[in-house]
Structure 1
Amino acid sequence: MLRVGIVGIGFMGKVHVMSFTDKPLIPNGTVKNAKLTAVCDIDTEKLEWAKGVIPELKIFTSFKEMLSSGEIDAVIVATPHYLHPIMGIEAIKQKIHVLLEKPVGVFTKNIEELNEISEENRDVTFGLLFNQRTNPLFIKAKEIIDADGVGTFKRVNWIITNWYRPQKYYDNGEWRATWAGEGGGVLINQAPHQIDMWQWLCGMPNKVRAYCKFGENRDVEVETDVTAYVEYPNGGNGVFITSTHDAPGTNRLEIIGNNGKIVIENDVLTYKKLLVPENELNLVATADLRDPKNTPQVEETIYTSKDLGEVPWGIEHALVIENWIDAIEGKDKLIAPGIEGIKALELINSMLLSTFLNKEIDLPIDKDVYYEELMKKCATSKYTKKWSI
């Protein structure tokens, strides 16, 4: 059986540790196709907690020592964001399969290096914990889109403002919500799942103009409120809005094209298929706005999470881990290949860079310019420690 290690025993690290037991924190969230054999953290109290859960675990305070110990075949990285690509590169070089928590990193410059090393070591499986790729509503949306059920995109809007975080959440860790410690705020911490879904369903835009508010309604350095406008190569456009201070918040995705419309909100997907595509309707419509011929006729289908096989939070993570393990053993393809993580990160970087420079950004972004601007922010950050392994 594949032997797995976990590095970083914070909130998500503990969820992952428990998922390798018969008493997971999330009911039914057990990983069934591998064994957890080792954990690593610089905090010895966290290591003792893990050993109390699984007494036979090997414990390490050095990531490199765990990789070279011979105790693991694969590793889940659940450390702060700056360490993700550094640890991913080190693991791949040592022929240890790696699954990174989101985001893949903080800036695309070193993710390119990570992807290059992954490509050079294709016998090592590199995955990402984008758990929303197991969400049946998004899987159904992708099926509809791939079958041309929406047609040519016109507009893609996502309001995701139900990431409510109080001030005490930010005060809980000195690295959290700082430029040098976390590399950003709501975009890099909470919203990467939705940004990944955005590009997974609709592809990458070619232009971004964003307005990020730093420390809006919270005493932090980084962005807590974002409104971004994007344009796609086909002329379509989109808006992405997110925050951590709206209460009550909203989570609503709308995708509309010339063949129909998808709306996902409150665990329900509504698909409205145009019986006559809009570009064809436009050719036969009359000047009389009261003419019934001008009314778009639709066939509506509603899907609920329960209808499609609901996958609660936490179980999603276990499913991604199981898929990664099956991919290592050649039994399945990755749900979330690691090399795709750069796409969501590029969108995150472009939104921040647009605000830093107060202008529209063309994609792909200039990775060196973004890195330079980020380092300027880090130079003034209250977090002064350096990330290393």
Structure 2
Amino acid sequence: MRIGLIGAGAVADYHIAAALELPNASISAVCDIDAVVAQRAAAAAGGASSFTDYRDMIDSGTVDAVIVNTPHSFHLPMVTDAARAGLHVLVEKPMATTLDDCDAMIAACDTAGVALTVGHIQHFMPDKVAAKEHIDSGELGDVVMVRDFRSTDYRPGTRSGWFFSPTVAGGGALINIGGHCIDRSLWFGGGRAERVLASTVNRFSSEVETDGTIALRLANGIGASINVISDPPLKADSLFIVCERGVVVADPRSGTLVQVDGRSRVLHERHPDDIQHAFTAQLADFLDVINGGRPTVPLSHARHVVEVVLESYRSAAEGVARTVGAAPVVSAGAR
């Protein structure tokens, strides 16, 4: 499978390394608006072609699929253009910045008969996989509560400028970092959100929110709390899953622990290759979907993450809890 990488910043190196590791995939082309960045990534991929316009790459005949690794609001045209060219698509999270964009992407890939998956990397992180497998074993009983806390840094100058554009990014810390938290809280909570109460703070003279908190009520009755804090003195990325008979904590910085009746044990020890392992597993999942398999992350889930983010922003603006909409109908043809 010849894969074109659109956007060579941020996590591009992980995507490239994943393709180099898998025997049935290669990065055959790289596109970035910065020619030097595109050429560097193309060289790292083993001599791939480089482009500065994704449309030229799509039309080049050098790719069978694309990974869209660009600012959030750019996803729609890139995904739909690729689909119309008959190319399979893996798009980074968040899927889009509006539900209409999500639906248009799904429809375009469905009509073209190509695979579409969304890069929610949390589902492939070894610390989260270990936690999910243990919970699914039944030893701890049902999940009854989820608590998620992540630190980040949204001081201007700490990341690319587009992250601070409400139009390009669709928001700030909640849609970006909080998108991971919403994703994994819904995943471990085992249900769709039906109620959301959120608050946000804009610090550092930022146009987008730098900090935020979200309280979710899932349709199955489980409560989930999410906190994203910018530039704290202590860094954190901790997911607590409270079950009937024990608590699991998953953290990529320290691994995965479970505690039952005062005794704890390790489910997964942190390894320096954990993040790369996740990206490789994600790409393998994409290739499986291309071959007719079911995605690890359903499109309905990826769309719902965007829906929850948008309702969180509305809740924060209005100062009241919001009801999350009904489940969408997602075409089976688009997987």
- Cα deviation, 1:211-233, whole Å, max 9, x if unaligned, reads 1112x2x2311111111112233
1:239-318 to 2 correspondence within 5 Å?
239-265=225-251, 266-272=254-260, 298=261, 302-306=265-269, 312-318=274-280
Q: Go from structure 1 to structure 2 and tell me whether the alpha carbon gap of 1:63 and 1:303 turns closer, same or farther (over 3 Å shift).
A: same
More off after superposition, 97-106 vs 86-95: 86-95
- Cα deviation, 1:234-253, whole Å, max 9, x if unaligned, reads 44322111122212123332
Between structure 1 and structure 2, the one with the greater Rg is 1
| TM-score, structure 1 normalization | 0.74
1:56-95 to 2 correspondence within 5 Å?
56-95=47-86
What secondary structure sits across from 2:163 in the alignment? coil
Distance 2:319 2:140 in 1: 33
What is aligned with 1:277?
A: none
Residue of structure 2 aligned with 1:156, choices 113, 127, 146: 146
Distance 2:42 2:146 in 1: 47
| TM-score, structure 2 normalization | 0.85
Distance 2:147 2:279 in 1: 26
Residue 238 (structure 1) aligned with residue 238 (structure 2): no
1:53-132 to 2 correspondence within 5 Å?
53=44, 56-121=47-112, 123-132=113-122
Shift in Å, 1:300: 5.0
Q: Go from structure 1 to structure 2 and tell me whether the alpha carbon gap of 1:252 and 1:56 turns closer, same or farther (over 3 Å shift).
A: closer
Residue 349 (structure 1) aligned with residue 335 (structure 2): no
More off after superposition, 134-143 vs 205-214: 134-143
Q: Any stretches of 5+ residues in structure 2 without a counterpart? A: 329-335
Distance 1:56 1:262 in 2: 44
What secondary structure sits across from 1:99 in the alignment? strand
More off after superposition, 246-255 vs 309-318: 309-318
What is aligned with 1:325?
A: 287
Distance 1:86 1:187 in 2: 23
- Cα deviation, 1:152-195, whole Å, max 9, x if unaligned, reads 5542211222x24554314xx33221202211111222232232
Distance 1:166 1:209 in 2: 25
Q: Which amino acid aligns with 1:107?
A: T
- Cα deviation, 1:54-76, whole Å, max 9, x if unaligned, reads 57422333322322322110001
- Cα deviation, 1:71-115, whole Å, max 9, x if unaligned, reads 110001111111113211222222200111121111222112222
What secondary structure sits across from 1:270 in the alignment? strand
**Contact 2:198/2:315 (<8 A) preserved:** yes
Distance 2:42 2:239 in 1: 42
Residue of structure 2 aligned with 1:178, choices 154, 157, 165: 165
Shift in Å, 1:206: 0.9
RMSD (CA atoms)? 2.8
Distance 2:247 2:286 in 1: 33
Distance 1:131 1:87 in 2: 20
Residue of structure 2 aligned with 1:168, choices 157, 175, 187: 157
Distance 1:206 1:149 in 2: 28
What secondary structure sits across from 1:17 in the alignment? helix
More off after superposition, 357-366 vs 197-206: 357-366
Q: Go from structure 1 to structure 2 and tell me whether the alpha carbon gap of 1:313 and 1:184 turns closer, same or farther (over 3 Å shift).
A: same
Shift in Å, 1:299: 8.3
Q: Any stretches of 5+ residues in structure 1 without a counterpart? A: 22-29, 273-297, 368-389
Distance 1:312 1:234 in 2: 32
**Contact 1:126/1:337 (<8 A) preserved:** no
Percent identical among aligned pairs is 24
Residue of structure 2 aligned with 1:135, choices 117, 125, 149: 125
Shift in Å, 1:209: 0.5
Q: Go from structure 1 to structure 2 and tell me whether the alpha carbon gap of 1:164 and 1:174 turns closer, same or farther (over 3 Å shift).
A: closer
Distance 1:255 1:114 in 2: 33
Distance 2:285 2:18 in 1: 14
More off after superposition, 344-353 vs 257-266: 257-266
Q: Go from structure 1 to structure 2 and tell me whether the alpha carbon gap of 1:142 and 1:120 turns closer, same or farther (over 3 Å shift).
A: farther
Q: Go from structure 1 to structure 2 and tell me whether the alpha carbon gap of 1:339 and 1:91 turns closer, same or farther (over 3 Å shift).
A: farther
Q: Go from structure 1 to structure 2 and tell me whether the alpha carbon gap of 1:119 and 1:52 turns closer, same or farther (over 3 Å shift).
A: closer
What secondary structure sits across from 1:168 in the alignment? coil
**Contact 1:151/1:257 (<8 A) preserved:** yes
Residue of structure 2 aligned with 1:39, choices 9, 30, 38: 30
**Contact 2:212/2:228 (<8 A) preserved:** yes
